Amino acid sequence: MFVRWLCVMLFVCWGAPLWADVAGFVQARQRLKAVPVGGISYLQQNVETYRGRVVELTATVKGVSSVGGEQVVVLQSADGASVCPRSVLPLQGQLGAQLRVLLRIAEDSIVGLGNTEIVQAVHEADIAQWEARQRQRQEAAVKSPPRTSRPLVSRFNTPVRTSGGEVVTFEQWHSAVYDAYARAISRFNPRLKPQQVEVITNSILAFSWYYRVDPRLVVAMVLAESGFRPDAVSRAGAMGLGQLMPRTARGLGVSNPFDPVQNLAGAIRLLHGHLNTYSGGRAYREGTVSWNDIILAMAAYNAGAGAVRKYGGVPPYRETQNYVKRVITFYKQLCGMR
């Protein structure tokens, strides 16, 4: 009897495990198509965007209580905002713990976040360590693209002829232009850490070469989209450097839009698709596009290909027209044109 009582006390004092393992949390967020959000304050202001969905956020457990026979947890994110979701997970012993949480927003959460539920949780330190290992692998893949017989990947190993007639390999080109791009990106967002600048620069150069997109156009696009802020979130819910919408990100295979490597891979792939469509395939075959191709591609990136098709060109939306002008202006400046 004493041993049983002791086991119960230890369970309450130290808390039960929150999950089987980190892999279980990752599988859950993929299965539930969880959307990362910056914090509870942003979520409260944009609850209509996430009704009926599962979001992923980092928060600290500030309290645990029982209300009407249900366990209610007080969560507070770094922005100071709080939410009180229901939870069937054993969180009694997690007071003060920082968790990564999968939070289900009910369909009837019309005002605020009055009806929410914790679906899964894991300690922030554990999932952050796992994600760091994944980023290292992705960065290594960007720096050293694998040799394969697939046409796009083989471009890393195939020399190309520049506009000046010089034949160069990816490694030669990367070495020649890296510093200039890194300095420019640092100026665009001085708050970026050197390691972030390195990852973003390498990703832009590698995926631009991979998809035969002018990296100066990618830089102009990212500058217009997010100002090179990896954590940027728009009012509409677009996320990360390339401002990918949740559904678009999922369609591109981007599980974490706030990860620079994943976001840029998806954004450049999407841009390449639009350029290839409006160039009649030249973007893929030759890596060449016209100014009209670029204008239509940027309009499609902002407003969607359906809108461009509907209006037979740049849609008459003020936001889209201003966006296209900004990108083209930045791109011309980066190309040394007026």
Which sequence positions are flagged as catalytic?
225
Q: What share of the chain is helix, strand, coil (3-state, %, to 5)?
A: 50, 15, 35
Q: Distance between terminal CA atoms of the chain?
A: 84
Q: Name the token pair of 257.
A: 């839009």
Q: Please state, in angstroms and as integers, the Cα–Cα distance from residue 173 to each residue in 151, 154, 155, 286, following that order.
A: 19, 16, 13, 18
DSSP string, 1-52: -HHHHHHHHHHHHH---SSS-HHHHHHHHHHTT-EE-S-HHHHHHTHHHHTT
Contacts of 281 (CB under 8 A, 6+ apart): none
> What whole-number distance in Å separates Cα of residue 65 and Cα of residue 200?
44
298: amino acid identity, one letter: M
> What whole-number distance in Å separates Cα of residue 20 and Cα of residue 29?
14
198: amino acid identity, one letter: E
